[in-house]
Amino acid sequence: MKVCLPVEMDKALESQVSDHFGSATCFMVFDEESGELKPHENTNIDHEPGQCNPLSSFGENIPDIVIVKGMGAGALKKLMEAGVKVFRAEADTIKENLDILTSRGLLRFTPQDACSGHDHQNNNESCGHHHGHSCSH
């Protein structure tokens, strides 16, 4: 199973999960089978509001699970239509969220959790788009 988490900078398992999926500089994909963690540059970072194509950065290596703090409704719908399960991040780092996922599970990210637009507040958490960090070490 492949688990994807959006991050601003690749710091391996200590990478901080980005506040918003579509504006993350990088997607870190953990392959549970091999134990490998690989960065994928977000090739769709400069999209118009509502036009996020969350699958374009992965080619044919679409993850089975995505763990996010924030995500737009359109991106969520596209991931769900592709059979990707989306869960809410409960911790700051990749390692912490993977530990929670395997030990007790994470809550599903629902359409009600989705951000309704760029740079707004949702449940007192920022879903704003932030740029300017690196996908690689």
Tokens, residue 41: 């540059």
CATH annotation of 2-126 = 3.30.420.130
Q: pTM score, two decimals? A: 0.84
Residues 9-47 have pLDDT tens digits of: 999 999 999 999 988 999 999 999 999 999 999 887 776
Phi–psi pair at 23, nearest 5 degrees: -105, 5
Question: What pLDDT, on a 0 to 100 scale, did the predictor assign at position 134?
Answer: 56
Phi–psi pair at 112, nearest 5 degrees: -70, -20
Domain ranges for the chain: 2-126
Which value, to the nearest 10 degrees, does the dihedral of the CA atoms of residues 51, 129, 32, 83 take? -20
Where b means 16+ CB within 10 Å and e means fewer, 20-29 reads bbbbbbbbbb
For residue 78, the one-letter residue type is K
Residues 75-113 have pLDDT tens digits of: 899 999 999 999 999 999 999 999 999 999 999 999 999
